[in-house]
Structure 1
Amino acid sequence: MTTLYDLAPKSADGTPYPLSRHRGQVLLVVNTASKCGFTPQYEGLEALWRRHRSEGLVVLGFPCNQFGGQEPGDADEIARFCSLTYEVSFPVMAKVAVNGPEADPVFSHLKSEKPGLLGTTGIKWNFTKFLVGRDGRVIGRYPPQTKPTDFEADVARALAEPAP
């Protein structure tokens, strides 16, 4: 059985980014876009990361252009936008697909572990967020309209759990 820690998505520079490096930490995995109505959530994600990273939280952004073409840039453009506009310092990966036959294995795994409303697995829009506990299991899935501050208590509970 594949776990999240068996996967190695591509980092923004195209090199493998083994998720095993985060074993025992709490992950917040988000499909992002620079030209979306939810893009201001970068600010809340960065604030969450800064408040809780010393406790073991890792925020991972995965740019995605599948929804309305709202992430048209290349890796350098995305990195520049995130850094200059929202002072993003958490890891931002290479652009991925989150649905369909080309979906990145990270999102295929997350969706299978935590289906959406009424059991649907597809991601509906940018800024869908998955909270992964220290044991690598998905413990929360939050729709795009849910702001990071709305589930910060869930993050705190996950961080309070001991590492396996």
Structure 2
Amino acid sequence: MTSIREFVKTSLRFADPRKVRFEYDRFHDSLNFYVDGMVYKNVEPVKPFPLSAPYYVILRVESGKDLCVIRDIRGLDESSRKALEYVLDRKYFIPVIRRVLDITYTGEFFVCKVETDKGVRTFKLRGRRRSVFKMDDKIVLFDMDENIYLIESYEKLDPKSKEELMKLL
């Protein structure tokens, strides 16, 4: 049986972020990728690990075939990085929770009112086991509509937010 690591090593080509370029085509609402003198139009960037490895991106062509991997998009030139991040931000909308305003248990689900980097949001969680995941100091919440919310650092939250969050932990 082949491991994921072995599959990636043997099946995917790694692209040097310093030798590639991205361009967002507003007219066609698509992302174009330039590498080795070739242009790939309408590529789809995929983050296989959006929370644990947010800068790791696989590029997929329209046929669905994986083209290459960029291990760290922070190495791209500024214009390319902005074009790629524009597309990724639309695809991977993950609000970051800054404060937990209130968590109420209704008997069926938890109703969470939070302040995020995108504004105040209210959402429902089915339960602790299916909706709340700890990753070191990070906490990831999956609401009933399968949206993802991220707490980047539990330790950096204010005391009231920590108190409310204890209802879920």
TM-score tier (shorter): under 0.3
The two structures have a TM-score, normalised by structure 1, of 0.22
Which one has the bigger helix percentage?
Answer: 1
Q: What TM-score do the two structures reach when normalised by structure 2?
A: 0.22
> Higher RCO, 1 or 2 (CA under 8 Å, sep at least 6)?
1
More strand by share: 2
